[in-house]
Structure 1
Amino acid sequence: MNDPARSTLVDQTVVIVGGSSGVGLAIARLASQSGAKKVVLIGRSRDKLASAATDVGGGNVDIAPADMVDSAALTAAIRSAGTIDHLVLTAVADEKKRIGGIAALSDAQMEGAIDKLRGFFFAARAAAPILRERGSMIFTSGASALKPSARMSILAAVNASVVTLAHALAIELAPVRVNALTPGVVDTPIHQGEEREGIRRWAESELPARRFGQPSDLAHAALFLMTNPYVTGQNLVVDGGLVAR
Structure 2
Amino acid sequence: MKIDSALADQTVVIVGGSSGVGLAIGRLASQAGARKVVLIGRSRDKLDSAAAAIGGANVDVAAADMVDSAALTDAIRSAGTIDHLVLTAVADEKKRIDAIAALTDAQMEGAIDKLRGFFFAARAAAPIMRERGSMIFTSGASALKPPARMSILAAVNASIVTLAHALAIELAPVRVNALTPGLVDTPIHQGEEREGIRRWAESELPARRFGQPSDLAHAALFLMTNAYVTGQNLVVDGGLVAR
TM bucket normalised to smaller = over 0.9
Give the match for residue 3 of structure 1: none
Give the structure-2-normalised TM-score.
0.98
Gaps of 5+ in 2: none
1:66 positional shift? 0.1
1:15 positional shift? 0.1
User: Aligned partners of 2:39, 2:147: CA distance in 1, in Å?
Assistant: 32
1:93 positional shift? 1.1
Give the match for residue 77 of structure 1: 75
1:131 positional shift? 0.3
User: Aligned partners of 1:117, 1:230: CA distance in 2, in Å?
Assistant: 26
User: Aligned partners of 1:163, 1:47: CA distance in 2, in Å?
Assistant: 31
> In percent, how many aligned pairs have the same letter?
91
Give the structure-1-normalised TM-score.
0.97
User: Aligned partners of 1:58, 1:101: CA distance in 2, in Å?
Assistant: 46
1:236 positional shift? 0.1
Listed one character per residue, the Cα deviations across residues 60-85 of structure 1 (whole Å, up to 9, x for unaligned) are: 00000000000000000000000010
1:38 positional shift? 0.2
1:58 positional shift? 1.2
User: Aligned partners of 2:56, 2:214: CA distance in 1, in Å?
Assistant: 18
Listed one character per residue, the Cα deviations across residues 93-146 of structure 1 (whole Å, up to 9, x for unaligned) are: 100000000000000000000000000000000000000000000000000000
Give the match for residue 85 of structure 2: 87
User: Aligned partners of 1:24, 1:194: CA distance in 2, in Å?
Assistant: 24
1:17 positional shift? 0.1
User: Aligned partners of 1:150, 1:229: CA distance in 2, in Å?
Assistant: 38
User: Aligned partners of 1:219, 1:99: CA distance in 2, in Å?
Assistant: 27
Q: How many correspondences in the alignment?
A: 239
Matched, 1:42 2:40: yes
Secondary structure of the corresponding residue to residue 104 of structure 1: coil
User: Aligned partners of 1:183, 1:84: CA distance in 2, in Å?
Assistant: 24
Secondary structure of the corresponding residue to residue 151 of structure 1: coil
1:43 positional shift? 0.2
